[in-house]
């Protein structure tokens, strides 16, 4: 190797070494510059993030303040609405109170008018009495004058003059005083009859509404408007379903939070009451659910009737009573006789008849049995003709009660003459019960009989599924089978029912509603 090559190698080696050093120095400077640039970028991003976080925080605070203002405004509006509603309820309450006070004042004025009329009657009677006394005085004066005249002119004895005066006086009374007295008496009778009718009419008008409401309605208290809305349903469909299924009239009391069930049959009212309680507790209220619950309640009520009948027979120590009679007897728990619970009356009469028969040393159980079954005819289907005593006797005979028991049932109300000691004891027990004050109330039974007759007339037509007399007998609702009765036929059916009601029931106006409903049911599998 020559010097040139060596110099070249040294130069190359030195250049490479210097290049590597320069490259390393450049790399170090570049890395430091990148680190400074990265720090600046990191600082910038951090500052930007902090600024964005501050902006979001401010925006959230503004939104929170807006939400608080909005909620405060909404709460104030709700409070204002509640205050208005409370004010409206207060005004309604004041209006109702004012109306009641007005009615009270009106009744008070009516009583004052009656008192004034009675005072006028007293004055008139006093005037008539004074007039009669004046006529008596005139009679005495005329008698004295006639006696003196006869004694002076006819030269008669005192006895003869007396007889002659009596004869003349009789003729005078017949000719003058008697017609006047008769006229006054007739006038008094007419005025007293009109007055008594007015007094009785006012008394009946004041008390009839309360008595009818008590006998034919049941009131349910609801917890709030939400529950009331569920009972009403969309466009009142739930109320219609309850009325059609139970046969009662459902009335919603505005502002009272209550439901009034109106029907003359207490069993229907009990079924409707229990069903509504179940529906409210369950929360699901719609027509299909209503029908399902009503059917379950009917089954339970009929089971309860059977249990009540068995319990009554067990308490009175009566055995071998036919199951059908026990069921009929249990149904009396929901019936009334003379305004009182029919089953309670039957038990009281049974105990009384048993005590009487025991004191006489005869069969006590037989008297209890006859007295207990005396009014089972009240719970027999209304389509069976005859008085409740005849129907009850026929029912007892049908289910193999002894002939003396059957005859005692038949003659308990003296419609048939009593023949045996048992007949007289049952009659005596019934008459003692009838003598209790405030027991006479046969109008309720005749009213119920008319309502059942109206239902029976409607059920007699072809295509009718069932019918219900509601609104105290002012309306009869008739449910017809849509497959048998068309829309046009339902119009004719309604007309035929009205005509038959007019012929057979002579009472107030009755509205007949024929309801034809079509249902389509499918099952998804």
Average pLDDT, the chain: 77
For 395, the token pair is: 């029912």
Check residue 2 and give its pLDDT: 65
Is pLDDT at 491 greater than 70 in this prediction? Answer: yes
pLDDT of residue 338: 66
- Rounded to the nearest 10 degrees, how much is the dihedral formed by the CA atoms of 15, 19, 22, 28? -150
Task: Indicate the pLDDT class of residue 440, thresholds 50, 70 and 90.
Answer: very low
CA 294 to chain centre: 17
- The interaxial angle of helices 421-434 and 403-410, nearest 10 deg, is 30
Q: Please report, for residues 132, 137, 139, 164, 300, the alpha-carbon distance to residue 142 in angstroms, rounded to integers and kept in the order given.
A: 15, 9, 5, 13, 88
Q: pLDDT per residue over 308-355, tens digit each?
A: 888 888 888 888 888 888 888 888 887 777 667 788 888 888 888 888
Confidence (pLDDT) at 250: 78
Question: Which pTM does this prediction carry?
Answer: 0.43
How many Cα atoms within 13 Å fall on the side-chain side of residue 381?
4
Cα torsion 78, 80, 86, 91: sign: negative
Give 191-200 pLDDT, tens digit per residue: 767 766 666 5
* Sequence-separated (6 or more) residues with CB below 8 Å from residue 283: 230
pLDDT on residue 177: 58
Note the pLDDT of residue 196.
Answer: 62
* Tens-digit pLDDT profile for residues 358-381: 888 888 888 888 888 888 877 776
The answer on pLDDT for 442 being more than 50 is: no
Residue 157 has pLDDT above 70, yes or no: no
3-state secondary structure of 478: strand
DSSP characters over 150-181: HHHHT---HHHHHHHHHHHHHHHIIIIIHHHH
Q: 120-129, 310-319, 438-447 — which is least confidently predicted?
A: 438-447
Give which of 393, 356, 357, 355 is closest to 374, Cα–Cα. Answer: 393
Tokens representing residue 137 in the block: 């005085």
pLDDT value, residue 311? 87
- pLDDT tens digits for range 399-412: 888 888 888 888 87
In tens, the pLDDT along 227-236 reads 777 777 777 7
* Distance, CA of 110 to CA of 103 (rounded, Å): 10
Tokens found for residue 363: 């069969």
User: Is the pLDDT assigned to residue 205 strictly greater than 60?
Assistant: no
How far is residue 237's CA from residue 235's CA, in Å, rounded to a whole number? Answer: 6
Q: How far apart are CA 362 and CA 354, in angstroms?
A: 9
CA angle 517, 523, 525 (to 5 degrees): 170
Q: Are the C-beta atoms of 208 and 229 separated by less than 8 Å?
A: no
Residue 107 CA to chain centroid, in angstroms?
26
pLDDT in tens, 288-314: 888 888 888 888 888 888 888 888 888
Structure tokens at 193: 């009859």
CB 287 within 8 A of CB 237: yes
Q: What is the pLDDT of residues 42-79, one digit of tens each?
A: 888 888 888 888 888 888 888 888 888 888 888 888 88
């Amino acid at each position: 190797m020559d010097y040139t090559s060596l110099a070249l190698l040294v130069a190359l080696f030195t250049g490479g070494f210097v290049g590597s050093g320069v490259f390393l120095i450049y790399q170090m400077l570049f890395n430091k510059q990148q680190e400074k640039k990265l720090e600046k970028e990191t600082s910038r991003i951090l500052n930007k993030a902090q600024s964005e976080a501050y902006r979001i925080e401010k925006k959230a605070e503004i939104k929170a303040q807006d939400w608080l203002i909005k909620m405060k405004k909404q709460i104030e509006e709700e409070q204002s609405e509640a205050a208005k509603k409370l004010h409206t309820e207060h005004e309604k309450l004041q209006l109702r109170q004012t109306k009641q006070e007005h009615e009270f004042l009106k009744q008070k004025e009516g009583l004052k008018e009656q008192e004034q009329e009675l005072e006028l009657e007293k004055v008139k009677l006093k005037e008539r009495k004074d007039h009669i006394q004046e006529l008596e005085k005139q009679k005495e004066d005329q008698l004295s004058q006639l006696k003196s005249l006869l004694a002076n002119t006819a030269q008669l004895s005192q006895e003869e003059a007396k007889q002659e005066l009596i004869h003349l006086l009789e003729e005078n009374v017949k000719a003058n005083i008697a017609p006047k007295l008769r006229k006054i008496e007739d006038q008094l009778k007419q005025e007293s009859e009109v007055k008594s009718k007015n007094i009785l009419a006012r008394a009946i008008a004041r008390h009839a509404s309360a008595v009818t409401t008590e006998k034919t309605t049941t009131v349910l208290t609801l917890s709030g408007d939400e529950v009331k809305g569920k009972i009403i349903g969309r466009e009142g469909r739930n109320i219609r379903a309850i009325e059609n299924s139970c046969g009662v009239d459902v009335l919603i009391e505005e502002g009272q939070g209550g439901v009034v069930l109106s029907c003359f049959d207490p069993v229907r009212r009990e079924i409707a009451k229990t069903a509504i309680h179940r529906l409210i507790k369950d929360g699901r209220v719609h027509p299909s659910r209503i029908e399902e619950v009503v059917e379950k309640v009917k089954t339970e009520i009929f089971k309860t009737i059977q249990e009540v009948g068995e319990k009554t027979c067990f308490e009175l120590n009566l055995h071998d009573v036919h199951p059908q009679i026990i069921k009929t007897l249990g149904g009396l728990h929901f019936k009334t006789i003379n305004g009182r619970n029919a089953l309670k009356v039957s038990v009281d009469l049974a105990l009384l008849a048993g005590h009487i028969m025991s004191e006489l040393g005869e069969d006590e159980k037989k008297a209890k049995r006859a007295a207990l079954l005396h009014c089972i005819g009240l719970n027999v289907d209304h389509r069976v003709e005859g008085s409740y005593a005849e129907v009850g006797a026929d029912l007892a005979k049908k289910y193999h009660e002894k002939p003396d028991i059957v005859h005692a049932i038949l003659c308990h109300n003296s419609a048939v003459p009593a023949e045996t000691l048992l007949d007289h004891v049952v009659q005596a027990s019934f008459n003692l019960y009838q003598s209790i004050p405030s027991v006479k109330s046969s109008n309720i039974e005749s009213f119920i009989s008319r309502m059942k007759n109206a239902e029976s007339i409607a059920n007699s037509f072809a295509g009718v599924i069932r019918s219900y007399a509601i609104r105290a007998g002012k309306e009869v609702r008739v449910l017809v089978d849509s497959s048998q009765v068309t829309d046009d036929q339902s119009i004719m059916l309604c007309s035929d029912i009205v005509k038959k009601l007019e012929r057979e029931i002579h009472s107030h106006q009755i509205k007949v509603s024929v309801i034809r409903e079509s249902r389509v049911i499918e099952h998804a599998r």
